[in-house]
Amino acid sequence: MVDEKILNAVKKAIEDAPKRNFEESVDLAINLKDVDLNKPQNRIDEQIILPHGLGKDIKLAIFAKGELALKAKELGLIVIDPDEIEDLAKDKKKAKKLASQVAFFLSDTQYMPLIGRHLGVILGPRGKMPIPVPPNADLSSMVDRLKKTVRVRSRGNPTFHVPVGRRSMPPEKIAENIEAILNRVESKLERGSQNIRSVYVKTTMGPAVRVM
């Protein structure tokens, strides 16, 4: 059963938001308290699989050649030839644009050191270092999971945001996505929910509604 308090907040956020001529996302804002975020071990940095995904396609990219690259193309991934890594690193503007457009990067394991050396300074701070794809891995399953995954990062800020769906999704599904995120975040905090000051949900352009 979905939490009624969360569900009611989602419904109100959608109802109170004026109609727009574009498909709005629904976002969650989490505010922490009594957490020393100067200590890296206290920061939230989690990849969370949402029960119902985000209600939209997200961009995935892979550093690969040969058979893995062909398979990735079939699955709709952006394929980056590893021979282009050094050139991409030299064009910082292009690399930063790519990093902002792609939700998750993957890579054939053999290219991870090369990526770290040349693109680590761009991808690392953004939490976008590639996920290694071992030999004989089921790429299709990895892609299916990542398409339903969000990355939740607090970094040094006690307030952080994460997308939880689209306005067109049933409120119940959005509420279940929110529950999944809150459960994971609370599990990573020393005092669980007591380390959360407040949680709000809102559409892209709509007013924020308090969840807790």
- Beta-carbon contacts of 151 under 8 Å, excluding residues fewer than 6 positions away, are 45, 46, 47, 48, 103, 104, 127, 162
108 with 68: CB under 8 angstroms?
Answer: yes
Query: Could you write out the DSSP letters of every residue in 152-184?
Result: EE-TT-SEEEEEEEETTS-HHHHHHHHHHHHHH
- Beta-carbon contacts of 11 under 8 Å, excluding residues fewer than 6 positions away, are 171
We find that the CATH architecture of domain 60-146 is 3-Layer(aba) Sandwich (3.40)
The residues of the chain that CATH labels 3.30.190.20 are: 4-55+149-210
How is residue 66 written in tokens?
């040969």
The residues of the chain that CATH labels 3.40.50.790 are: 60-146
How does residue 21 score in pLDDT terms, banded at 50, 70 and 90?
A: confident
How is residue 205 written in tokens?
């352009």
3-state secondary structure of 140: helix
* 47-96 per-position pLDDT tens digit: 999 999 999 889 999 999 999 999 999 999 999 999 999 999 999 999 99
121 with 92: CB under 8 angstroms?
Answer: no
What is this structure's pTM?
A: 0.88
* 112-151 per-position pLDDT tens digit: 999 999 999 999 999 899 999 998 899 999 999 999 999 9
Q: From 3.90.550.10, 3.30.360.10, 3.30.70.120, 3.30.190.20, which CATH number describes the 4-55+149-210 domain?
A: 3.30.190.20
166 with 24: CB under 8 angstroms?
Answer: yes
Q: What is the DSSP letter of 129?
A: P
| pLDDT higher than 90, residue 180 | yes
